[in-house]
């Protein structure tokens, strides 16, 4: 990162972290588990609000790059902030767009950057975890990057899909231990089976992180 990029990134990071801490009483737990794994890493979080990229980005002390819908960059203030925080415009409405997105993410990881992904593919309408797509597993297989599961609690209440008001609801972010590709390398497993195993383990870990928040 150039000095200018670093300045814009940390300016946005500090501003957003401050707003979330004051307005949403942002609480981050499990960060030591995540930081025990060196990058580049794939940070994979549940997704139920447009706040999620900013929330996760401001909870992790290393820069995260992620793909965001082009339309979000046209939203006043939000568009500027997510660009400064490392977002990259992407069109993902069709198979060609998805393939292009995967290629972009692979390039970022291969260049040594950390990436943020939302394996559900779209925002949840009820705040519950949706079935995960296998793109994250494919990304890990192609780059050998570990996957750090993250559960975001409260962003759905603060700003659900179609909401017009941003509410001061408490937000908690829980980071889990990394999922390493070598843990699944079974010589008898096909590529399809390997993707399925990784995806299922990620879903299981996300629900464990959710339960940790709800029981603490």
The band of 5, judged by pLDDT with boundaries at 50, 70 and 90, is confident
Per cent of the chain over pLDDT 70 is 94
Residue 94 confidence (pLDDT): 56
Instruction: Give me the pLDDT at residue 202, please.
Output: 98
- The arithmetic mean of pLDDT across residues 3-9, rounded, is 86
- Residue 1's pLDDT band, with cuts at 50, 70 and 90, is low
Q: Report the mean per-residue pLDDT for the chain.
A: 91
Across 180-201, average pLDDT:
86
Indicate the Cα dihedral angle 139, 122, 79, 149, nearest 10°. Answer: -50
Compute the half-sphere exposure of residue 14: CA atoms within 13 Å on the CB side of its CA. Answer: 6
**Residue 201 CA to its chain's centroid (Å):** 16
Cα–Cα dist 173/152, whole Å: 5
**Distance separating alpha carbons of residues 204 and 114, to the nearest angstrom:** 22
Kindly give the pairing relationship between strand 64-69 and strand 87-90. parallel
pTM of the complete model = 0.92
What is the rounded distance in angstroms from the CA atom of residue 87 to the CA atom of residue 69? 9
Q: Is 215 helix (H, G, I), strand (E, B) or coil?
A: helix
Taking residues 13-38, report their average pLDDT.
Answer: 96
Q: What percent of the chain has a predicted confidence (pLDDT) above 90? A: 69
Structurally, at CATH architecture level, domain 3-215 sits in: 3-Layer(aba) Sandwich (3.40)
Looking at residues 28-46, what average pLDDT do you find?
A: 95
Mean pLDDT, residues 36-49: 94
Tell me: the pLDDT tens digits for 72-106?
A: 888 888 888 888 988 988 765 555 667 788 888 99
Q: Name beta bridge partners: 116.
A: 43
């Amino acid at each position: 990162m150039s000095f200018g990029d670093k300045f814009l990134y940390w300016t946005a990071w500090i501003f957003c972290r401050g707003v979330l801490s004051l307005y949403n009483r942002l609480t981050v737990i499990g960060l030591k588990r995540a930081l025990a794994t060196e990058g580049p890493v794939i940070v994979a979080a549940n997704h139920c609000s447009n706040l999620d990229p900013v929330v996760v980005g401001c909870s992790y002390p290393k820069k995260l790059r992620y793909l965001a819908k082009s339309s979000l960059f046209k939203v006043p203030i939000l568009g500027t902030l997510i660009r400064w925080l490392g977002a990259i415009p992407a069109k993902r409405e069709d198979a060609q767009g998805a393939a292009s997105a995967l290629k972009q993410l692979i390039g970022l990881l291969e260049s040594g950057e950390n990436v943020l992904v939302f394996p559900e593919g779209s925002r949840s309408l009820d705040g519950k975890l949706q079935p995960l797509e296998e793109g994250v597993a494919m990304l890990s297989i192609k780059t050998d990057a570990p996957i750090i599961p993250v559960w975001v609690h409260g962003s759905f209440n603060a700003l659900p899909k179609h909401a017009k008001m941003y509410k001061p609801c408490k937000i908690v972010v829980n980071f889990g231990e990394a999922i390493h590709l070598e843990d699944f390398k079974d010589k008898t497993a096909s590529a399809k089976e390997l993707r399925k195993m990784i995806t299922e383990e990620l879903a299981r870990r996300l629900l464990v992180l959710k339960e940790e928040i709800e029981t603490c």
